[in-house]
Amino acid sequence: MSTLPLDGIRVVELSHMVMGPTCGMILADLGAEVIKVEPLKGDSTRRLLGAGAGFFRTFNRNKKSLALDLDQEQGRDALLRLVDRSDVFIENFKPGRMQALGLDYPSLRQRNPRLVYASHKGFLPGPYDQRLALDEVVQMMAGLAYMTGPVGRPLRAGSSVNDIMGGMFGAIGVLAALQERQRSGQGREVQSALFENCVLLAAQHMQQYAVTGTPAAPMPDRISAWAVYDVFSFAGGEQMFVAATGDGQWATLCRLLDQPSLLADPGLASNNDRVLQRPRLLARLAEIFKEHDAATLARLFEANGIPFAPIRKPEELFDDPHLLQSGGLAKLQVEDGSNTLMPLLPLALDNQRLQPRWPIARIGEHTDTVLSELGYSASQLQELRRTATISA
């Protein structure tokens, strides 16, 4: 018997790319039955190359696949039958697409008043809400790209941060609406948006300006609150981030580096003193670190409470000892039958991580099963195949 929190909740996911699928994946990992509705050729995200090559397998585990042609009336009828028996509907298509298909929230609410409808868009309702948006678009609009790159060179963050967080906030809204439904008996519409998500990421910099009256500088040019808070190079050419945010850490760092003169320097007595002397201090530390082995210092830093981090590439995380030994990576079977190690949701329930329960579904793998549960007979399924409403 399932002990997952969302056991018994059925979710219809009509989404693609990252934002909507992230919402569906979170609900699926928490135990919901998530039925992903795809075109007959499959979600186009399955076929992306380059930076998008890993999207589908990353955000679509623990889901069933139902392949329907929604441009045909029979396909829409099948979807509506499914919606009638579902708890949650997820979509992330361009503005107006759901209304054109008769799948907008007012239409579906008339059929199923208990339905929680999660809409993922570029913008919440307002002057921009008809614009198309991408993660990169909103990073430029909301100040994140400005803060990430050097002055005059805005740079997007190196991951789909707003798409992923937007899906996460959609899932949070769904969970809240399901909880409310237990009292009211009614569903509601949940809206999540890329732009507003990115504005939240920039909120600390907005408030820095409100508090100080000085605009926040981009991260490469920022005035750090801590003197020792940077990336350094070591004897073998390795790089490592090292920090000493308090006077105790500073004293420990000086001891580990065998630098009593730095600790005795009155101009470096407090963190604020060190911040004022930061260029001189960082240049001196850079000289010192170049004489040390990174692995040896890393062991000393860990044993003595100095914050540090090796500079890793994503592909190196497959071999990360913490992820491997803590169960943070789990084996997932993908569409071609091969297996990969996949990072799990960054949470645990009763000290247990939420695991992949099913392989990544093949296109339309569960079409017959889902439609049969909705009452379609074998002859009706055959007719849907004949008319190319479902795949042959």
Distance CA 32, CA 26 (A): 9
Cα 60 to chain centroid distance, Å, stands at 12
- Provide the pLDDT for residue 223: 78
Q: Assess whether pLDDT exceeds 70 at residue 2.
A: no
Distance CA 175, CA 26 (A): 11
pLDDT tens, residue by residue, 23-69 = 999 999 999 999 999 999 999 999 999 999 999 999 999 999 999 99
Q: What is the mean pLDDT of residues 323-327?
A: 97
Can you list the alpha helix ranges (DSSP code H) found in 30-141?
55-59, 73-84, 97-100, 105-111, 135-141
- Provide the pLDDT for residue 1: 47
Average pLDDT value over all residues in the chain: 96
Q: What is the mean pLDDT of residues 218-223?
A: 85
Q: What is the mean pLDDT of residues 170-183?
A: 98
Residue 17 · residue 90 · CB < 8 Å: no
Q: Assess whether pLDDT exceeds 50 at residue 351.
A: yes
- Provide the pLDDT for residue 311: 96
Domains defined along the chain, listed by start: 10-201+327-386 (3.40.50.10540), 224-314 (3.30.1540.10)
Q: CA 112, 365, 2 angle in degrees (round to 5)?
A: 65
Residue 88 · residue 27 · CB < 8 Å: yes
Entry pTM: 0.94
Q: What is the mean pLDDT of residues 257-264?
A: 96
- Provide the pLDDT for residue 321: 96
List Cβ neighbours of 89 (8 Å cut-off, separation of 6 or more).
Answer: 11, 12, 14, 83, 103, 108, 115, 116, 117, 118
pLDDT tens, residue by residue, 111-170 = 999 999 999 999 999 999 999 999 999 999 999 999 999 999 999 999 999 999 999 999
Q: Assess whether pLDDT exceeds 60 at residue 197.
A: yes
- Provide the pLDDT for residue 224: 84
